């Protein structure tokens, strides 16, 4: 079956265009702010401008939410654009404030896609959503691994309460290339978070926070560990979490896809002693970064 022939339940998608090797589909969504549950259940809503993700990380749990098994296997090579997202969010924010006049909603963008994946540079859907959100001032957390976010500094600085989580799960570039070959380099992500920090003022009126999420911690070569940790001084918070165990049965475990399971074999020197390696890394983080708060897992994912 060619990837253009995927079937998606809501309606038959058409290939909007090719973006590199990615098939891009264009669909109307029923809602754009969805009730947050599970791991990020402390938020009011998740906000996913896209479905699917061009970065196609080998360990991504979001692949399990693909519309069908063919698309799940082809994770990383298709994206569904929620073309009516901007129109929807305005309506949904108005509705929220009608019911909760003095309570800004907490929004996590995004839980099953990267809002700044490469095609965002062309489509600018995330940018459109930010523009509409500014007058409503939600408490917003943006989760990404993309330097494209720096394009939106002009909008990001207008939020009163914003946290940017930059995902960097390893300090070893060769490991990054194995586990996430389509994603931006570690240095590009570090440069991006540094640029955001430098250009977005944090003051009483605009409480802007920056985290690095090391979730899950991937292998890191001993010689890369300390230099990597020292580069994380620019942020306020680190969130760290171990890789899910290969023995976990849940379909949502991070090892769902065979690519990640195969890589765990390649990095046996790490995974055979994973909890020891994880604990050593965590101790090293705490020792080297005294001014950065370190959270493990779920506890670090909120704005506060
Ligand atoms: S960037 Fe995030 S959503 Fe995209 S494939 Fe990687 S882990 Fe999944």
Residue 11 lies in a domain: no
Residue 6 lies in a domain: no
- In the predicted model, is pLDDT for residue 254 greater than 70? no
- In the predicted model, is pLDDT for residue 13 greater than 90? no
> Is 55 touching ligand 1 by the criterion CB < 6 Å?
yes
Give the structural domain span for 99. 18-298
- In the predicted model, is pLDDT for residue 299 greater than 90? no
Residue 54 lies in a domain: yes
| Mutational pocket test of ligand 1: of 60, 119, 243, the residue with most ligand atoms within 8 Å of the beta carbon | 60
Contact 185, 145 (CB under 8 A): no
Which pLDDT value is given to residue 38?
87
For range 156-173, the mean pLDDT: 98
Residue 9 lies in a domain: no
- In the predicted model, is pLDDT for residue 29 greater than 60? yes
Mean pLDDT, rounded, of the chain? 91
Closest C-alpha to ligand 1, atom 8: 60
- In the predicted model, is pLDDT for residue 14 greater than 80? no
Q: Smallest Cα–Cα separation from 129: which of 42, 201, 29?
A: 29
Residue 250 lies in a domain: yes
Residue 246 lies in a domain: yes
Phi, psi of 50 (to 5 degrees): -125, 165
Structural domains of the chain, count: 1
Residue 54, domain CATH:
3.80.30.30
Closest C-alpha to ligand 1, atom 3: 113
| Mutational pocket test of ligand 1: of 48, 64, 80, 113, the residue with most ligand atoms within 8 Å of the beta carbon | 113
Q: How far is the CA of 72 from the centre of ligand 1 (A)?
A: 13
pLDDT tens digits, residue range 72-87?
A: 999 999 999 999 999 9
What are the structure tokens assigned to 198, written together?
């430098």
């Amino acid at each position: 079956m060619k990837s253009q022939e995927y079937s998606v339940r809501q309606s038959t998608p058409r290939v909007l265009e090719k973006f590199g090797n990615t098939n891009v589909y264009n669909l109307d969504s029923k809602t754009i702010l969805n009730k947050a549950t599970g791991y990020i259940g402390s938020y009011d809503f998740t906000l996913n401008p896209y479905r699917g993700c061009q970065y196609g990380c080998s360990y991504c749990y979001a692949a399990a939410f693909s519309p069908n098994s063919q698309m799940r296997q082809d994770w990383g090579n298709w994206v569904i654009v929620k073309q009516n997202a901007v129109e929807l969010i305005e309506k949904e924010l108005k509705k929220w404030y009608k019911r909760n006049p003095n309570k800004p909603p907490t929004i996590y963008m995004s839980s099953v896609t990267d809002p700044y994946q490469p095609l965002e540079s062309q489509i600018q859907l995330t940018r459109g959503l930010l523009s509409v959100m500014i007058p409503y001032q939600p408490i917003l957390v943006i989760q990404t691994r993309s330097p494209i976010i720096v394009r939106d500094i002009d909008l990001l600085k207008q939020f009163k309460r914003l946290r940017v989580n930059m995902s960097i799960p390893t300090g070893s570039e060769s490991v990054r290339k194995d586990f996430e070959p389509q994603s931006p380099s570690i240095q590009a992500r570090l440069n991006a978070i540094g640029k955001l920090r430098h250009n977005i003022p944090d003051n009483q009126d605009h409480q802007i926070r920056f985290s690095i999420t090391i979730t899950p911690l991937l292998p890191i070569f001993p010689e890369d560990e300390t230099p990597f940790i020292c580069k994380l001084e620019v942020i306020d918070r680190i969130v760290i979490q171990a890789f899910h165990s290969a023995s976990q049965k849940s379909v949502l475990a991070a090892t769902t896809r065979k690519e990640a399971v195969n890589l765990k074999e390649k990095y046996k020197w790490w995974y055979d002693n994973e909890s020891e390696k994880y604990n050593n890394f965590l101790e090293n983080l705490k020792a080297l970064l005294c001014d950065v708060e370190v959270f493990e897992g779920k506890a670090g994912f909120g704005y506060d």
